[in-house]
């Protein structure tokens, strides 16, 4: 609730606020991402003395199911102030203020979440104010959207929440608790720097149009600065994850290198042993070859000797057999010669007989001629004269011929 602005919150000389900031200066802001292990996404924002934790679950099944939306996800936000978050103990029961802040934050996030990608599901955002120092709804919106991004919920843009207010008729950025309570008014906005879109705008107090425009402009500039902080926080987390992966990969690489070295050493040793064994094998093979060559040479010598001895024995046997067979051969040759002579004699006898037959035929022819001649000359029977004269001459010739035949037969 805004005050009447009577409390002096800005130094007239310096123009600085009670906490030393300029009118357009944000409180020291820091965001941590992924601070909860059991949430899908989480963020912790330190904005001045505000400490606000946001946790995101989903998209997940919705209970009760009758609340499910058929075409999109239901975004449910639960803004709670811890009992210890304020100076006076806060009742743990949800207040109207908490329900109102839960609704405006839920509506703002609904404008950027791609809810149609997850129909009939719910995306639950739990915001717990651990320590309140003014402007908790804006800081809660910033933390919630950063947690959504950490959870991987698809969004059109990142919303950054910050308020601008009127203090001592001065528009200032990011009011803290005293300025929020004693100032003339405040305008909390939710702004997406990437979309250049305002998703949340509330106003408490009385502003002129110029003051309103100046406040909104100042809040947008502040939101842009917060957006950079959100990006940095998200990048730091994933840079850490990347570094962890890189470290793991480096460790793995180192382990792989060690294993490679070990394997290479073992391989080298095995190769050396293999070489030695190979050398031994080669030497043994050479020795075996030499042995086999020597053995073969000896065997060849033995074979040659055996063959020589066999040849000698054979030659001796042949000589002996020749010696034994020699007279037989001589007798055979003689027999052969005798048979050849006999054959020639037979042939000669055949020739002689043939000649004798031819001579007998000729003699018969001559006798007949002489008989014919004598018969013609004497008128006697040819056969008697011829037979007398012829007998004498014939007998002489026959005797000579018979002598020749006898000579030939001999
Ligand atoms: O926190 P925000 O400015 O967004 O909302 P508010 O309703 O204007 O609250 C103003 C401030 O009053 C809060 O930031 C708290 O610091 C404080 N407060 C409190 O002390 N006890 C409460 N039960 C509620 C709010």
Instruction: Kindly state the percentage of the chain with pLDDT values over 90.
Output: 54
In a domain, 96, yes or no: yes
For residue range 272-314, list pLDDT tens digits in order. Answer: 665 665 556 656 676 677 666 766 665 665 665 665 555 455 4
Looking at residue 388, its pLDDT comes to 40
Residue 241: inside a domain: no
Residue from 136, 142, 166, 190 to probe ligand 1 pocket by mutation (most atoms less than 8 Å from CB): 136
- Among 34-48, 199-213, 245-259, 263-277, the range scoring the smallest mean pLDDT is 263-277
Residue 353 lies in a domain: yes
* 201 has a pLDDT exceeding 70: yes
Measure 85 CA to ligand 1 centroid, in angstroms. Answer: 10
Residue 332 is assigned to a structural domain of this protein: no
Cβ of residue 242 lying under 6 Å from some atom of ligand 1 = no
Q: Are residues 207 and 345 in the same domain?
A: no
Pocket lining: 132 vs ligand 1, CB cutoff 6 Å: yes
Number of domains in the chain: 2
- Residue 406's pLDDT is what? 67
Range scoring the smallest mean pLDDT among 13-22, 191-200, 244-253: 244-253
Nearest CA to ligand 1 atom 10: 134
- Kindly give the number of the ligand 1 atom that is closest to the alpha carbon of 95: 23
Whether residues 228 and 362 share a domain: the answer is no
Same domain, residue pair 347 and 209 = no
Q: Per-residue pLDDT for 390 more than 50?
A: no
Which of 52, 77, 132, 138 is the best mutation target for the ligand 1 pocket, counting ligand atoms within 8 Å of the beta carbon and taking the most? 132
Query: Poorest-confidence range of 10-14, 341-345, 356-360, 363-367?
Result: 341-345
SS (H, E, C) the chain: CCCCCCCCCECCCCCCECCCCCCCCCCCEEEEECCCCCCCEEEEEEECCEEEEEEEEEEEECCCHHHCCCCCCEEEEEEEECCCCCCCCCCCCCCHHHHHHHHHHHHHHHCCECHHHCCCEEEEEEEEEEECCCCHHHHHHHHHHHHHHHHCCCECCCEEEEEEEEECCEEEECCCHHHHHHCCEEEEEEEECCCCEEEEECCEECCCHHHHHHHHHHHHHHHHHHHHHHHHHHHHHHHHHHHHHHHHHHHHHHHHHHHHHHHHHHHHHHHHHHHHHHHHHHHHHHHHHHHHHHHHHHHHHHHHHHHHHHHHHHHHHHHHHHHHHHHHHHHHHHHHHHHHHHHHHHHHHHHHHHHHHHHHHHHHHHHHHHHHHHHHHHCCCHHHHHHHHHHHHHHHHHHHHHHHHHHHHC
Where does a domain end: 178, 203, 233?
233
Q: Whose CA is nearest to atom 9 of ligand 1?
A: 134
Q: What is the pLDDT of residue 67?
A: 94
For residues 66 and 187, state if they share a domain. Answer: yes
Does 316 map to a domain?
A: no
- pLDDT attached to residue 331: 45
Q: Tell me, yes or no, whether 43 and 183 share the same domain.
A: yes
**What atom in ligand 1 is closest to the CA of residue 140?**
4
Residue 185 forms part of a structural domain: yes
Predicted pLDDT of residue 20? 95
- Residue 290: CB within 6 Å of ligand 1? no
- Residue 98 counted as domain residue: yes
Q: What is the CATH number of the domain that holds 144?
A: 3.30.230.70
Question: Which residue, 211, 233, 255, sits at the end of a domain?
Answer: 233
The response to whether residue 97 sits with its C-beta less than 6 Å from ligand 1 reads yes
- pLDDT tens track for 48-87: 999 999 999 999 999 999 999 999 999 999 999 999 999 9
**pLDDT digits over 127-162, tens only?**
999 999 999 999 999 999 999 999 999 999 999 999
The predicted structure's pLDDT at residue 327: 47
- Would the CB of 127 count as within 6 Å of ligand 1? no
Looking at 201, 233, 265, the residue that finishes a domain is 233
Whole-prediction pTM value? 0.64
Mean of the per-residue pLDDT values for the chain? 82
- Within a domain: 212: yes
Distance 136 CA to ligand 1 centre (A): 7
Range of the domain at 73: 29-233
350 and 224 together in one domain: no
């Amino acid at each position: 609730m805004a005050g009447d602005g009577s409390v002096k919150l800005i130094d007239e000389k310096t123009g600085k606020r009670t906490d030393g900031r300029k009118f357009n200066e944000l409180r020291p802001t820091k965001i941590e991402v992924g601070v909860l292990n059991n949430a899908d996404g989480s963020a912790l924002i330190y904005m001045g003395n505000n400490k606000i934790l946001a946790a995101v679950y989903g998209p997940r099944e919705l209970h009760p199911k009758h609340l499910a939306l058929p075409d999109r996800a239901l975004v449910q936000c639960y803004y709670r102030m811890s009992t210890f978050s304020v100076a006076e103990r806060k009742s743990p029961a949800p207040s109207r203020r908490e329900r109102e802040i839960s609704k405006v934050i839920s509506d703002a996030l609904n404008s950027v979440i791609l809810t149609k990608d997850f129909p009939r599901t719910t995306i639950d955002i739990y915001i717990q104010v651990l320590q309140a120092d003014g402007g908790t709804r804006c800081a809660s919106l910033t933390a919630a959207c950063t947690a959504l991004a950490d959870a991987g919920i698809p969004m059109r843009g990142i919303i950054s929440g910050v308020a601008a207010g009127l203090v001592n008729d001065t528009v200032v950025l990011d009011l803290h608790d005293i300025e929020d309570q004693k100032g003339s008014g405040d305008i909390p906005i939710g702004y997406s720097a990437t979309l250049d879109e305002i998703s949340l705008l509330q106003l408490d107090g009385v502003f002129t149009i110029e003051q309103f425009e100046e406040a909104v402009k100042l809040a947008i500039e502040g939101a842009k600065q917060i957006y950079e902080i959100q990006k940095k926080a998200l990048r730091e987390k994933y840079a850490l994850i990347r570094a962890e992966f890189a470290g793991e990969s480096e460790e793995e690489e180192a382990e792989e290198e060690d294993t490679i070295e070990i394997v290479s050493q073992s391989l080298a040793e095995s190769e050396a042993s293999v070489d030695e064994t190979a050398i031994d094998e080669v030497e043994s093979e050479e020795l075996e070859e030499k042995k086999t060559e020597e053995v073969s040479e000896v065997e060849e010598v033995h074979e040659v000797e055996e063959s020589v001895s066999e040849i000698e024995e054979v030659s001796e046997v042949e000589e002996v057999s020749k010696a034994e067979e020699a007279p037989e051969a001589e007798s055979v040759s003689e027999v052969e010669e005798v048979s050849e002579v006999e054959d020639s004699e037979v042939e000669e006898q055949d020739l002689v007989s043939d000649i004798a037959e031819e001579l007998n035929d000729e003699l018969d022819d001559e006798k007949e001629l002489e008989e014919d001649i004598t018969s013609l000359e004497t008128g006697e029977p040819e056969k008697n004269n011829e037979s007398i004269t012829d007998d004498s001459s014939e007998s002489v010739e026959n005797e000579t011929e018979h002598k020749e035949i006898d000579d030939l037969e001999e």
